[in-house]
Amino acid sequence: MIGWLRVRVIRWLNEERPPQPFPPCDFERLSYEIRPGDVLLVEGRTRVAEVIKVITQSRWSHAALYIGRLYDIEDPDVRERLLRHHACDPDEQLVVEALLGHGTVVSPLAKYRHDNLRICRPRGLSPADAQKVIAFAVSRLGTAYDTRQILDLARFLFPWTLMPRRWRSSLFQHNAGGATRTVCSTMLAEAFAEVQFPVLPFVARDADGRLRLLRRNPKLFTPSDFDYSPYFEIIKYPMLGIDDVGLYRRLPWGAEGIVCNEDVLDCAELLDPEDSARLAQATAQALEADRGDEAAG
């Protein structure tokens, strides 16, 4: 009975709302520019994603590690382990991620084509260490998702609570035999810790007055920490690029006086079908003009 109820709850939490009609991210360019070892932040569309956004006070509800294509993985043992969990085309771009109801899995990058995305690139990470980070993530494939950790993290981060934040919390328990469950940001934090790459370390002084970095509890990491980290470069590819001077003046703004107070999906209700069609046409024309300018340059 309990197992049946748990499956129903997880299925309900994983239900997605429809994607935005015009995703803010240029997925084609992002998929061309992303590199193995990059962290991919996702603004999720599921119910559990909305819960995580509230808990973390951030739009980023999920983080995944981009591992590239199969031939980008240098270690044959790592490739073999990957193939045991995911039969993929050699040219398929892949991410490793921890998902509610699925655990740590391999997924195609293309599944996020319609989502708002951001690349967090570890600044100065050597190619050899990037391979070690990928190898660690692949070694965690099959690990179950730690639902309890999400609940304890909510209790820890909320400004008020009915019980002490650390009381019977899984966040501060040490597993001597290694983790058997994880969440997306914890798995990534542990992967980068394998090569001593900092995400958001604590800075302290020792008895001699020298600065020391202290490793943070990986269970306290959230997806937005990779966005806040000074050690990761933030890379964005907007659908309508405005790299050229004055290009923003050609963006297809909506009718005068229409102000959106909510998400893009809610704003779309303000437009009738003809207005939506004209907006789509204007968007396509702006993109085509942008590409023409790039080709001429």
All domains in the chain, ordered by first residue:
8-235 (3.90.1720.10), 247-296 (no CATH)
pLDDT of residue 220: 82
More confident residue, 29 or 158: 29
**Quick one: the chain helix, strand, coil %, rounded to 5?**
40, 15, 40
On the question of pLDDT at 25 being above 50, the answer is: yes
Region 159-175 average pLDDT = 46
Mean of per-residue pLDDT scores for the chain: 78
Q: Where are the alpha helices (DSSP H) in the chain?
A: 2-13, 27-33, 47-56, 76-85, 127-139, 147-157, 184-193, 224-228, 264-267, 273-296
Region 109-125 average pLDDT = 96
Most confident of 82-91, 132-141, 184-193, 278-287: 132-141
Q: Which residues pair with 64 in a beta bridge?
A: 40
Is 12 within 8 Å of 47 (Cβ atoms)?
A: yes
Region 65-85 average pLDDT = 96
Place of tokens 């043992």: 77
More confident residue, 263 or 260: 260
More confident residue, 173 or 80: 80
Which of 165-174, 202-211, 286-295 is predicted with the least confidence, judged by mean pLDDT? 165-174
On the question of pLDDT at 98 being above 80, the answer is: yes
On the question of pLDDT at 34 being above 80, the answer is: yes
pLDDT of residue 177: 41
| Token digits of residue 111 | 């599944």
Whole-prediction pTM: 0.74
| Residues sharing a CB contact under 8 Å with residue 286, sequence separation 6 or more, in sequence order | 240, 250, 251, 252
pLDDT of residue 280: 55
